[in-house]
Structure 1
């Protein structure tokens, strides 16, 4: 990874935040995507254009994968790839909440090497570079050290606690939720929650940045079956996400498989 990739992502995230904030309180031009009826706004598209121009001009040899861009198969042949979600938590953005984020990552040979999750309305900048630790607003962060799964505080949608997902029995957990998946990952990295999980196929742009931030904060991060996450896949998804410190991760995984 070029030493300046993380610096580039941080600069791009700040530019994205300024663009997104300019739409707050204005006409968002909300439309709904045909394939899944999820919302997209003028802010999503403008931020996407801003990020593409800034990042691709700086690294013309990198591939590009974004929620708001048509997928280009050429990314699979690129040595390094930008994976971005211009606004993660678009519904939250539309509702006027602050819990939305810009998620930016660089991926090399399937692994994330630099990552930023930025919440401009909260002034929270999560960053990580491979082998260099994770930070929040420049200060090191570590995953929580809880050792007991019972009563662990987790971030998950309510449906994720249905018995169908837990052949070993639904654990006794304290559940909370945040609309941005990238923010959920980052909150666990910060140690404010003990674990997060989602069992739906997870788009890479939602999880790539947060996965590295969590890993560099000391968490174990896998798919829902305990396999390593890989990125820049032909179909850009992973089979869910399970993240926690190694002890809690093992305790949850034992009930899932």
Structure 2
């Protein structure tokens, strides 16, 4: 796949992400209908479904030979045989969206042979668009970004959930002395590390591919390392579309986290 095609797909994703934002903003702060998906999958709203319908129509209409994997679509095993696959989260951070918090995102990617080749994470309320191709720089609103250079866990600021406080996740039997913060969108957490605003993000539970595909490419092209909890590079379009946790940071800090986290599974 020539690099020019990566850029063509990135343009397609970017346009679709911005259109997704326009649809989402039409529902935001207007009390859209919402319900729980059950089985711990969290909420979904009429806005999620409207964005998903538009994305599938626009993206698959433009690339009918690409497979499709979305949080809000019934999984079609045919994607496993496709040469290229769209992996999307129509609204990443639905709880935030429903709480009228503007930190939700649209995460769109193209995957080829298990690797992300183009990705966009767009936050319409705060006006942020992160983007990258496999052969290009990671960009925020068109400007290059890179992670910071902190090497020590202690004193760092990490985007993660309260789950990381459990001492059972750490080799020394206690959590390192970092400051814990959180953003509702997992995709945005990776991008915040990519631009150096936070030192790392870790997830100690399985991470869905639609949450991480686009942002993993952005973080890697910025210069961060993005792996599962075992330190293995993420691969996408798996039959079960999850990774075994997530560790994202600059190379030195990433290695420090892997040295202190217990092996998966806990």
TM-score normalized by the length of structure 1: 0.98
Q: What is the CA deviation profile of residues 144-186 of structure 1, one whole-angstrom value per residue up to 9, with x for unaligned ones? A: 1112222011100011121111113421101111111011111
Query: Please, which of 193, 213, 216 is the counterpart of residue 211 of structure 1?
Result: 216
Q: Does 1:23 align with 2:32?
A: no
Give the unaligned 5+ runs of structure 1: none
In 1, Cα distance between equivalents of 2:253 and 2:221: 17
- Alignment of 1:67 with 2:79, yes or no, is no
1:158-237 correspondence to structure 2 within 5 Å: 158-168=162-172, 169-237=174-242
2:130 alignment counterpart:
126
Corresponding position of 2:140:
136
Deviation at 1:37, TM superposition (A): 5.1
Q: Does 1:93 align with 2:97?
A: yes
CA–CA separation in structure 1 for the residues paired with 2:234 and 2:248: 11
2:11 alignment counterpart: 7
Structure 2's unaligned 5+ residue stretches are none
TM-score, length basis structure 2 = 0.95
State how far apart, in whole Å, the 1-side matches of 2:74 and 2:39 are: 13
- Is the Cα contact below 8 Å between 2:31 and 2:98 reproduced in 1? no
Pairwise CA distance, 1:227 = 0.8
Deviations 1:112-152 (A, max 9, x none): 11000000000000001002110000000001111222201
Partner of residue 107, structure 1: 111
Residue 22 of structure 1 aligns to a residue whose secondary structure is helix
